[in-house]
């Protein structure tokens, strides 16, 4: 898909222009403090590019799910304050998103960076209301979408505004598209996709779309138990989706036909619940594991980790989306951390690697491995839908 990108614009076309930029500043905040600014830092190159070319930058973003009404804890002011630190210059944070007060503030401020209030405080945002889109468009001369993490949403600020202004992809959006297209269009082999997380249903489209492209498909996290249970394995109280047993078996059969190796856990760390503070036992999933009727799988076991270290050698292309276990509980994070180490080592040895999904990215950040992967995606749901082969509304709106 040929899209308009801001690197086609220069100082001659940008100087003195007001550029309306959709960013994804939906960052975790606790007690007014930002817990991870990865998404904000990812947007800095676009903001700095526009500033360098003498444009005034008007930023818009959502935060959380306020459902079309003002929620005080979801105001963007803390984000604006942190952005000032990242940019090293003044950021004017407004308490509204559109309207005459906002227009007056844009005229009056001496700041070159303005942050509008949470777009989702208005029902017109998620409804992609044409009137709301038009009112947003009145705030700028050009529109730039750099919010890849929200590109799968047909909202006013991600798609609707592009109907009223010349529309371009930001540098982050461009980088995300190029990185994911490399996986879909021209991957070097061996190519492995490591897919984890809770439910098969949320990743089924990706599994099916990648099946003929990858050499190996590693399935971890709770979603692995649906495949194991479909094969008649005992999984105790582990999370499963019985309605997808037939689908899981069909996927396994299709993989065999396309000569794609599917790697499932061979042992599992079991506990009374995902919130437990201790491991009850590690069970082999290939044999009779004894009575685990009251236990649930919360991580891949040590034999699975050893198997992965052996199998994942000599890789040229890697996609990782989703944890191997209940990563947010430190007791059950070893499998995810081991996977991060295995894939980082493969990248060190020359593999091209893309990491997407909140917990996978969190594991990479926690271990200080960010620089050891080729691309860290800012999109969870967006990257999944892109890899399913779907057209994302926020990208389609930027067609040249």
Residues 275-284 have pLDDT tens digits of: 999 999 999 9
Distance between CA atoms of 24 and 248, rounded to whole angstroms?
34
Pick the catalytic residue: 199, 280, 311, 316? Answer: 199
CA nearest 140: which of 162, 121, 117? Answer: 162
Mean pLDDT across the stretch 167-196?
96
Mutual orientation of helices 334-348 and 358-366 as an angle, nearest 10°? 70
Mean pLDDT across the stretch 78-98?
97
| pLDDT > 80? residue 400 | no
Distance between CA atoms of 333 and 129, rounded to whole angstroms?
43
Among this protein's residues, is 358 annotated catalytic? yes
**Residue 120 token pair:** 């989702």
Pick the catalytic residue: 39, 75, 120, 203? Answer: 39
Residue 290: its pLDDT value, please?
Answer: 75
Among this protein's residues, is 41 annotated catalytic? no
Percent of the chain with pLDDT over 90: 89
| pLDDT > 70? residue 1 | no
Mutual orientation of helices 302-311 and 334-348 as an angle, nearest 10°? 10
Pick the catalytic residue: 77, 134, 280, 358? Answer: 358
Distance between CA atoms of 337 and 333, rounded to whole angstroms?
6
Per residue in 102-116, pLDDT tens?
999 999 999 999 999
CA Rg value for the chain: 23
Q: Which stretches of the chain are DSSP H helices?
A: 11-14, 38-52, 77-87, 100-108, 123-126, 130-137, 171-185, 200-210, 223-230, 245-257, 302-311, 334-348, 358-366, 381-387, 393-396
Question: Helix or strand or coil: residue 191?
Answer: strand
Q: Which stretches of 267-318 are DSSP H helices?
A: 302-311
| pLDDT > 80? residue 358 | no
Model confidence, pTM: 0.91
């Amino acid at each position: 898909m040929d899209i308009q990108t801001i690197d086609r614009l220069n100082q001659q076309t940008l100087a003195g222009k007001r550029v309306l930029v959709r960013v994804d500043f939906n960052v975790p905040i606790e007690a007014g403090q930002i817990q991870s600014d990865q998404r904000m830092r990812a947007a800095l190159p676009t903001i700095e590019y526009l500033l360098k070319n003498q444009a005034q930058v008007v930023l818009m973003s959502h935060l959380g799910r306020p459902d079309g009404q003002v929620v005080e804890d979801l105001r963007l002011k803390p984000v604006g304050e942190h952005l000032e630190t990242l940019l090293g210059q003044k950021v004017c944070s407004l308490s509204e998103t559109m309207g005459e007060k906002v227009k007056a503030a844009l005229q009056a401020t001496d700041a070159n960076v303005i942050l509008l209030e949470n777009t989702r405080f208005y029902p017109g945002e998620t409804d992609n209301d044409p009137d709301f889109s038009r009112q947003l468009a009145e705030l700028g001369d050009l529109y730039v979408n750099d919010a890849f993490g929200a590109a799968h949403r047909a909202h006013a600020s991600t798609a609707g505004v592009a109907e009223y202004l010349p529309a371009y992809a930001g540098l982050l959006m461009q980088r995300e598209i190029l990185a994911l297209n490399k996986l879909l269009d021209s991957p070097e082999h061996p190519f492995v996709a490591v897919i984890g997380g809770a439910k098969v249903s949320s990743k089924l489209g990706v599994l099916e779309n990648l099946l003929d492209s990858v050499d190996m498909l590693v399935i971890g996290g709770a979603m692995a138990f649906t495949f194991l249970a479909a094969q008649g394995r005992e999984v105790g109280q582990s999370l499963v989706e019985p309605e997808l047993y037939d689908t899981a078996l069909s996927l396994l059969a299709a993989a065999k036909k396309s000569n794609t190796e599917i790697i499932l856990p061979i042992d599992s760390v079991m506990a009374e619940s995902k919130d437990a503070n201790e491991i009850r036992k590690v069970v082999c999933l290939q044999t009779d594991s004894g009575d685990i009727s009251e236990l649930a799988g919360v991580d891949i076991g040590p034999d699975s980790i050893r198997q992965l270290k052996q199998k994942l050698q000599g890789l040229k292309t890697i996609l990782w989306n989703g944890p191997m276990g209940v990563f947010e509980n430190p007791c059950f994070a070893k499998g995810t951390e081991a996977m991060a180490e295995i894939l980082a080592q493969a990248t060190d040895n020359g593999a091209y690697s893309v990491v997407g999904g909140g917990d996978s990215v969190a594991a990479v950040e926690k271990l200080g491995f960010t620089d050891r992967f080729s691309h860290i995606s800012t999109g969870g749901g967006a990257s999944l839908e892109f890899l399913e082969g779907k057209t994302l509304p926020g990208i389609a709106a930027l067609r040249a």
